[in-house]
Amino acid sequence: MPAELRFSRSDSGQPTPERSIAGLRLARWCASNGWPVHPLASGRKTPASNCRDCSAPGHTHKDCACLAAGRWCHGFHAATLDYSRIDHWWGQNPTLGVGVACGPADLVVIDVDAHQSAHQSEIPSRDRLLPGIAIGEHIDVAGMTTGYHSLAVLAALRGERSPAEDASTLRVRTPSGGLHVWYRATDGRRWQCSTGSGRRALAWQVDVRAHGGYIIAPGTSTAAGAYKPVGSVRRPAPLPAWLAQELQRTGHLPAPHIPAPRPVPPRAREAVLAAGGGQDQTSRLLAGLLADVAGCAQVAEGAGFTEKLNRAAYTLGGLVAAGHLGEAAAEGALRETAEATRPGQAQRTAQIIRSGMAAGAQRPLHLGGRR
């Protein structure tokens, strides 16, 4: 966010000239980062409407005349990177807030709420604290009163730092005491917003803003207060791999088409045969890892290719370190499988394989009692 931007409100809660000018600058700054913007209603965190039909039954953005005419309407569906349109919208309506359409901007924002639970009875059932992760009755959850706590527990279970403490990326404090943690999606997958039903939440009081939603730009002010950046970082970092795995686990991807099993490439088959032809534990494990990577071939997005490739490389590194496989054969088989699955990404996949195998080599994987 430009250093010269300053945000303030008068005692009456009305926008000052300083804030009015800042709205246009903020919208232009967001657009300069490649984040399409759309107006928010003055002093509110909800999108501004531009026609009476917006709330009418059956009226959608697909048949709204506002969008075709270059007027904002229907929230993030109107988001734009067009500076002339931005200047027109905020120049004539300087009190409008700024929303960012997450999907077109390739943003994944972790939305941490801080709604304090005063009583144990207000904490949800244990199966909803961390969806899909069992929390035993012997574990005291009385201290989990906000989304900060549930997110911290999830991160600790994975041996990672909580995104709320991730100083490498843009973080924005909300007027209610919550936090928006901004990340960039870098693998082309269309991460989806949380539904709000609890079934797709990342954790209790932790939702996700991505495709199909918007986020309030840092620096925007509402009647409740300002959305203030935390720390000095003003750009989103790439979405961490472990967090991507958790988002996939909790259903934040469209349901993928499940393709028929894809044949393992010739060099990979040779590696399997050299390891025992599928008759022993090593070759079965190798064949399963290669097939898992190869199965991503016919799914353009949402297949978890990067995570599967990294997991396969890590496991192969452990098998090589334990003496079950030759390093050259294992790496070559995985490279050929990756190239057949995602053609044209040889340099990227080679880097994933090398780093994964190096990490796995630190923990030799002994099978069948072999030491």
Q: What is the pLDDT of residues 100-114, one digit of tens each?
A: 999 889 999 999 998
pLDDT score at 258: 38
HEC string for the chain: CCCCCCCCECCCCCECHHHHHHHHHHHHHHHHCCCCEEEECCCCCCECCCCHHHHCCCCCHHHCHHHHCCCCCCHHHHCECCHHHHHHHHHHCCCCEEEEECCCCCEEEEEECCCCCCCHHHCCCHHHHCCCCCCCCCCCCCCCCCHHHHHHHHHHHCCCCCHHHCCCCCEEECCCCCEEEEEECCCCCCCECCCCCCCCCCECCEEEECECCEEECCCCEECCEECEEECCCCCCEECCHHHHHHHHHCCCCCCCCCCCCCCCCHHHHHHHHHCCCCCCHHHHHHHHHHHHHHCCCCCCCCCCHHHHHHHHHHHHHHHHHCCCCCHHHHHHHHHHHHHHHCCCCHHHHHHHHHHHHHHHHCCCCCCCCCC
Q: Could you give phi then psi for residue 2, rounded to 5 degrees?
A: -55, 135
Are the CB atoms for 272 and 264 separated by under 8 Å?
A: yes
47 vs 303, residue with greater confidence: 47
Q: What is the mean pLDDT of residues 153-159?
A: 90
Q: Could you give phi then psi for residue 358, rounded to 5 degrees?
A: -65, -40
Q: What is the mean pLDDT of residues 85-90?
A: 88
Are the CB atoms for 306 and 341 separated by under 8 Å?
A: no
337 vs 70, residue with greater confidence: 337
The chain-wide mean pLDDT, for the chain, equals 78
Q: Evaluate if pTM is beyond 0.85.
A: no
pLDDT score at 67: 62
Highest mean pLDDT among 23-37, 86-100, 169-183: 169-183
CA distances from 111 to 207, 210, 327, 345, 359 (A): 5, 10, 43, 32, 31
Sign of CA dihedral 207, 212, 217, 222: negative
HEC string for 47-110: ECCCCHHHHCCCCCHHHCHHHHCCCCCCHHHHCECCHHHHHHHHHHCCCCEEEEECCCCCEEEE
Q: pLDDT tens digit string along 302-341?
A: 567 788 888 888 888 888 898 888 888 888 888 888 888 8
- For 91, the token pair is 């120049």
On the question of pLDDT at 248 being above 80, the answer is yes
